[in-house]
C-alpha cells in the first residue's frame, strides 16, 4: 500500500476538547499529523479543520470513518482525489543587511510575498501559496540565513462547480 | 423554579427512567448523595469499589437494553471506573458514568482528588461532558442517554464539578437534543439489499455468523426468520451467544479461538459468510489472511467504521440489524441446504465437545454441564474472561435470548461478580449464575459485601483450578510448561464467603456437584460453590494465537505428563 499525503477537511462543532478528540484519534490509529489548521467556518458555532496525514487510502478511510463517528464532528471528507484549492501561509524571518536587503526584496517580489517587518538586521516576510511555493521560497532565502519560520499548514476547500 | 445542580441531575435521571444507580461516595459527589433521598425512585446500590459500579451498570444495561448508570467521586473514584467504562466501550454497552469533579476554581490546580477524567477516558467513551454550568445539566443528561442508547451503544461520561452540583439554575427539561454531528441509523441501501439477496440465494455453502449486534437490536425474531427461511447454518461469536437458540437444528455453536471445531470448519469451507452484527475480532477470525478462504463476505453492521476495518468484505450493508433483516427477509428465497448441513453435522459427529472423561477427576466442563441441566437452561450465565468463560460458553446450551453475559472485547477478569449483581437487579426473577475463576473472583471479591448488604440472590460458581488457568494453558502449550507465576495460593473461599454472610459449599468430587447445585438453587439468597477442579485441564478445541481457523488443536491423545 502506498503512503501518500491525504487532505481531510472536517466541519466540527466549536466546543472545548474537540481538537483533542480529533488529534487523539489520529494518535490511536498511529498516524502522524503533517499539519492541522483550525478556524471558524461560515456557520457560527462551527469550525472547519484541514488535516494533512500520510497513509494508504484504506487506512485513511478507516480513520475518516472513526472521525465521522465523533459526536462533535458534523462532516469529514477526504478530498485528496477531488479538485481542490489549497493554500498555506508562512512567516519567515531572514537575516538582512544593507547589502542583501534589495536582493531579498527582488526574490520575494517574484513570489508575490510581502515584507511585513523591517529591523536593522532582519526582514520578516509573509508568503501565501501552496506548500511547494512556500518550500521553494524558504529554500532560496536559506542562503541569507533564516532565523525563524512559522507555517500554518495547509487549508483546503473543494473547488466550486464551473 | 430554581433547583440545585444535584437536583437537576436527579430530576433528569428520573425523567430518563433510571431506576438504579451503582456507586460509591466521596468528597466531590457529596451534594449529589445528599440530594438522592429526595428521589426515592432512584435506588442506589452501594458498591465497594468503583470498578464494580461500572461493571454492575454494564450487566444491568446488557439485560435491560437501557443505559446503566454508575456514580463515583473525583480522582481515584473516577480512575477506578475506567476499566468498567472501557469494558462497556469494547462490547458496545450503553452506560452513563457520572463523576464528581473538584470545584471549578480548583480545576487545573492539581487539587486534592483532582484528575482529568474526561481526558483519561477519551479513547474509551462514545462521548463525554465536563459540565460548567448547572443550567446545562438537564440538556447534557438528555444528550448523554440519547447518545449512549442509540446507534451503536456505548458509554458516555458526565463530569460534574462540585460547585455545579451546588449552584442553582432554572430547571428546564429540553424536549429534544441538538446534536448536529451525531449520525443515526443510516437508511438501508436498497441496492445493497438486492445484491445481498442475490448472493444469499445463489450460495451453496453459506454460513451465518451471528454477533452481539443481533442482541443489541433485539432482532431475535427477524434473525430466526432469516435463518429458517434460507436454511443457513448459524455459528455465533462469543458475544453472539444468546442471539439464536442453540438447541435449533441450524445452530452450530461458537466460532473462533475456542470455538467448536465444526463451527470453524463450516466457516473455512463456506462459499458465503453472512456476518451480522459482529466486528471480525481476532479471537473470532484467527489469522484473517486464511479466514473463510473460499467465501464471499457479506457484512451487516450499524457502524460504518466496522466495514472493512479488519478484513475486506464483498457486500457491506450498514444499518440497524432489525431493519436490515426485515427488508432482507422479503428478498431471500426459501431454500434448502441439505447436503451442506449434513456435512457440518458429520463434522460435529467427528469432533464433538466432550464434557467429561472417565479417567479424569472433577472437570470444569462437567460442572457447567450440570448447572445447565439443573437450571433447565433457564439461567443467565455471567462470566469474566479466561478458561471459566470458555467452558461456560461451550458447555451450557443457550436457548433463551440474551442469556450469556460476558466480558468479550476487553476480557476483564473480575467482571463476572459485579456484572451478575447488575443482571440480577435488572431481572430479579431470573436465576443468575456468576461463573468465576479463582483468579478473577479475587479481583472483585469485595462485592461479596454489596451482595450481602443488598441481598442480591445470585449464585456464584468458582471454577477453582488454583491457577490463572488460561495463562497457565498458554504457558503449557507455548512456553514449554514453564509456569511463571500462574499458580495461586488461595484462601478458603467457603470461609471467606461465610465471613461475608453468604452460605457456601466446597465441591471436590463429581458426586458432590449435583447436590451442591441443588443447595444453591434451593437457597433463596446468594450462594457460593467453590468447585475444586483439575488444575491442568485445558480448554479445547483451540486455535493457537495468530493461526488460522483451520489449525485446530484438540485434546492430545498422549498422557499429559509427557513433555512436548
CB pairs under 8 A between A and B: 41
B308 touching A, CB under 8 A? Answer: yes
Into how many domains does chain A fold?
2
CB-based contact (8 Å) between A148 and chain B?
Answer: no
Distances (CA, A) of B140 to A16, B62, B135: 14, 23, 10
Burial state string for B509-540 with b = 16 or more CB within 10 A and e = fewer than 16: eeebbeebbeebeeeeebbbbbbbbeeebbbb
Number of CB atoms found within 10 A of residue B455's CB: 11
Task: Quote the pLDDT of residue B153.
Answer: 98
Q: What's the confidence (pLDDT) of residue A32?
A: 86
Residues A128, A91: one domain? yes
Fold of B2-170: Rossmann fold (3.40.50)
CA distances from A92 to A96, A105, A107, A130 (A): 12, 13, 13, 15
A78 shares its domain with A91: no
Statement to judge: residues A55 and A69 lie in one domain: yes
The complex scores an ipTM of 0.90
pLDDT of residue A3: 82
CATH number of the domain where residue A51 is located: 3.30.70.260
SS (H, E, C) B135-151: HHHHHHHHHHHHHHHCC
Same domain, A71 and A99: no
Q: How many CB atoms lie within 10 A of CB B446?
A: 17
Cis (ω within 30 of 0) for the bond into B541? yes
Q: Are residues A35 and A90 in the same domain?
A: no
- Chain A residues within an 8 Å CB radius of B303: 69
Same domain? A106 vs A66: no
The answer to whether residues A66 and A121 belong to one domain is no
CATH of the domain at A148: 3.30.70.1150
Nearest by CB: B147 against A13, A17, A71: A71
Candidate from A16, A24, A68 with C-beta closest to B122: A24
A108 and A75, same domain (yes or no):
no
Fold classification of B190-350 is Rossmann fold (3.40.50)
- Segments of chain B assigned to CATH 3.40.50.970: 2-170, 364-540
Q: Among candidates B176, B192, B253, B185, which has minimal Cα distance to B216? A: B185
Query: Which residues in chain A are closer than 8 Å to B181, comparing Cβ atoms?
Result: 12-13, 70-75
- What is the nearest CA distance from A74 to chain B, expressed in angstroms? 4
Query: Residue A72's closest chain B neighbor by CA?
Result: B181
Q: What is the chain A residue with the closest CA to B156?
A: A71
Using a CB-CB cut-off of 8 Å, the residues of chain B touching A13 are: 180-181
CA distance B130 to B500: 38
Flag if A66 and B147 touch (Cβ within 8 Å).
no
Q: Are the beta carbons of A71 and B304 separated by less than 8 Å? A: no
Domain of A49, in residue numbers: 4-82
Let me know if B350 is exposed, middle or buried by CB neighbors in 10 A (0-12, 13-18, 19+): exposed
What 8-state DSSP symbol labels residue B279?
A: -
The DSSP secondary structure of A22-77, one letter per residue, reads HHHHHHHTTPPEEEEEEEE-SSTTEEEEEEEEEE-HHHHHHHHHHHHHSTTEEEEE
| pLDDT value for B119 | 96
- CB contact set of B557 (below 8 Å; sequence gap of 6+): none
- Top-level class of domain B364-540: alpha beta
What are the 10-residue block averages of pLDDT along chain A, 162 residues in total?
A: 87 94 91 92 96 92 94 96 94 95 94 95 96 95 96 94 73
Question: What average pLDDT values come out for chain B (564 residues) when binned by 10 residues?
Answer: 96 97 98 98 98 98 98 98 98 98 97 97 97 97 98 98 98 91 86 97 98 98 98 98 98 97 97 98 95 97 95 96 97 97 97 89 97 98 98 98 98 98 98 98 98 98 98 96 97 98 98 98 98 97 94 71 40
Which residue's entry shows cell 487549508?
A155
Q: What is the 3-state secondary structure (H, E, C) of B49-112?
A: CHHHHHHHHHHHHHHHCCCEEEEECCCHHHHHHHHHHHHHHHCCCCEEEEEEECCHHHCCCCCC
Task: Identify whether residues A15 and A64 lie together within a single domain.
Answer: yes
Domain end, chosen from A48, A82, A116, is at A82
pLDDT of residue B564: 36
**Distance (Å, rounded) from C-alpha B435 to C-alpha B46?**
22
Q: Are residues A75 and A41 in the same domain?
A: yes
Query: How much is the pLDDT for A29?
Result: 85
- Whether residues A66 and A16 share a domain: the answer is yes
Residue that finishes a domain, picked among A82, A112, A135: A82
Amino acid at each position: 500500500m502506498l503512503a501518500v499525503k491525504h487532505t481531510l477537511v472536517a466541519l466540527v462543532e466549536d466546543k472545548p476538547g474537540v481538537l483533542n478528540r480529533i488529534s487523539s484519534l489520529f494518535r490511536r490509529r498511529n498516524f502522524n499529523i503533517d499539519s492541522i489548521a483550525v478556524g471558524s467556518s461560515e456557520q457560527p458555532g462551527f469550525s472547519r479543520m484541514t488535516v494533512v496525514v500520510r497513509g494508504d487510502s484504506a487506512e485513511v478511510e478507516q480513520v475518516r470513518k472513526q472521525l465521522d463517528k465523533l459526536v462533535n464532528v458534523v462532516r469529514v471528507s477526504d478530498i485528496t482525489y477531488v479538485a481542490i484549492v489549497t493554500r498555506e501561509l508562512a512567516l519567515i524571518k531572514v537575516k538582512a543587511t544593507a547589502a542583501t536587503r534589495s536582493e531579498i526584496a527582488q526574490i520575494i517580489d517574484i513570489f508575490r510575498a510581502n515584507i511585513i517587518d523591517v529591523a536593522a538586521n532582519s526582514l520578516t516576510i509573509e508568503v501565501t501559496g501552496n506548500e511547494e511555493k512556500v518550500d521553494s521560497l524558504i529554500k532560496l532565502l536559506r542562503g541569507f540565513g533564516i532565523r525563524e519560520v512559522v507555517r500554518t499548514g495547509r487549508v483546503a476547500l473543494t473547488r466550486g462547480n464551473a | 423554579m430554581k433547583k440545585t445542580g444535584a437536583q437537576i441531575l436527579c430530576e433528569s435521571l428520573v425523567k430518563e427512567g433510571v431506576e438504579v444507580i451503582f456507586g460509591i461516595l466521596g468528597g466531590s459527589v457529596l451534594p449529589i448523595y445528599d440530594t438522592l433521598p429526595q428521589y426515592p425512585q432512584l435506588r442506589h446500590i452501594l458498591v465497594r469499589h468503583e470498578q464494580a459500579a461500572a461493571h454492575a451498570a454494564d450487566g444491568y444495561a446488557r439485560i435491560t437494553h437501557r443505559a446503566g448508570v454508575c456514580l463515583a467521586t473525583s480522582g481515584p473514584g473516577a480512575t477506578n471506573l475506567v476499566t468498567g467504562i472501557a469494558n462497556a466501550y469494547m462490547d458496545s454497552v450503553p452506560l452513563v458514568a457520572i463523576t464528581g469533579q473538584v470545584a471549578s476554581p480548583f480545576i487545573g490546580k492539581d487539587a486534592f482528588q483532582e484528575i482529568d477524567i474526561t481526558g483519561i477516558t477519551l479513547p474509551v467513551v462514545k462521548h463525554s461532558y465536563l459540565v460548567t454550568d448547572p443550567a446545562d445539566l438537564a440538556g447534557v443528561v438528555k444528550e448523554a442517554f440519547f447518545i449512549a442508547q442509540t446507534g451503536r451503544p456505548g458509554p458516555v461520561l458526565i463530569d460534574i464539578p462540585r460547585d455545579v452540583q451546588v449552584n442553582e439554575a432554572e430547571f428546564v427539561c429540553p424536549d429534544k437534543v441538538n446534536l448536529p454531528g451525531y449520525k443515526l441509523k443510516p437508511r438501508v441501501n436498497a441496492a445493497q439489499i438486492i445484491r445481498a439477496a442475490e448472493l444469499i440465494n445463489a450460495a451453496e455453502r453459506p454460513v451465518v455468523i451471528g454477533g452481539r449486534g443481533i442482541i443489541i437490536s433485539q432482532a431475535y425474531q427477524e434473525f430466526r426468520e432469516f435463518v429458517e427461511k434460507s436454511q443457513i447454518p448459524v455459528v455465533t461469536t462469543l458475544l453472539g451467544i444468546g442471539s439464536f437458540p442453540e438447541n435449533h437444528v441450524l445452530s452450530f455453536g461458537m466460532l473462533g479461538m475456542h470455538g467448536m471445531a465444526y463451527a470453524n470448519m463450516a466457516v473455512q469451507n463456506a462459499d458465503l459468510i453472512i456476518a451480522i452484527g459482529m466486528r471480525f475480532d481476532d479471537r473470532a477470525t484467527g489469522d484473517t489472511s486464511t479466514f473463510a478462504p473460499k467465501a464471499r463476505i457479506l457484512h451487516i453492521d450499524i457502524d460504518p467504521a466496522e466495514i472493512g476495518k479488519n478484513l475486506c468484505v464483498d457486500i457491506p450493508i450498514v444499518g440497524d440489524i432489525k431493519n436490515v433483516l426485515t427488508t432482507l427477509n422479503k428478498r431471500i428465497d426459501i431454500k434448502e441446504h441439505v447436503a451442506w448441513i449434513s456435512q457440518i453435522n458429520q463434522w460435529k459427529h467427528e469432533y464433538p465437545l466432550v464434557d467429561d472423561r472417565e479417567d479424569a477427576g472433577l472437570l470444569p466442563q462437567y460442572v457447567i454441564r450440570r448447572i445447565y441441566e439443573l437450571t433447565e437452561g433457564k439461567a443467565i450465565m455471567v462470566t469474566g474472561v479466561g478458561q471459566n468463560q470458555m467452558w461456560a460458553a461451550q458447555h451450557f446450551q443457550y436457548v433463551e435470548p440474551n442469556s450469556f453475559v460476558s466480558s468479550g472485547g476487553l476480557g476483564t477478569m473480575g467482571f463476572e461478580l459485579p456484572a451478575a449483581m447488575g443482571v440480577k437487579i435488572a431481572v430479579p426473577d431470573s436465576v443468575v449464575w456468576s461463573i468465576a475463576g479463582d483468579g478473577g473472583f479475587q479481583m472483585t471479591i469485595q462485592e461479596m459485601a454489596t451482595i450481602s448488604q443488598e441481598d442480591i440472590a445470585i449464585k456464584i460458581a468458582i471454577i477453582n483450578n488454583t491457577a490463572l488457568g488460561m495463562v497457565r494453558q498458554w504457558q503449557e502449550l507455548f512456553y514449554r510448561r514453564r509456569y511463571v507465576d500462574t499458580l495461586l495460593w488461595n484462601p478458603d473461599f467457603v470461609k471467606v464467603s461465610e465471613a461475608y454472610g453468604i452460605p457456601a459449599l466446597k465441591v471436590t468430587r463429581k458426586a458432590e456437584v449435583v447436590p451442591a447445585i441443588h443447595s444453591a438453587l434451593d437457597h433463596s439468597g446468594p450462594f457460593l460453590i467453590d468447585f475444586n477442579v483439575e488444575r491442568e485441564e485445558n480448554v479445547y478445541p483451540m486455535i493457537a494465537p495468530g493461526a488460522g481457523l483451520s489449525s485446530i488443536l484438540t485434546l492430545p491423545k498422549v498422557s499429559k505428563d509427557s513433555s512436548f
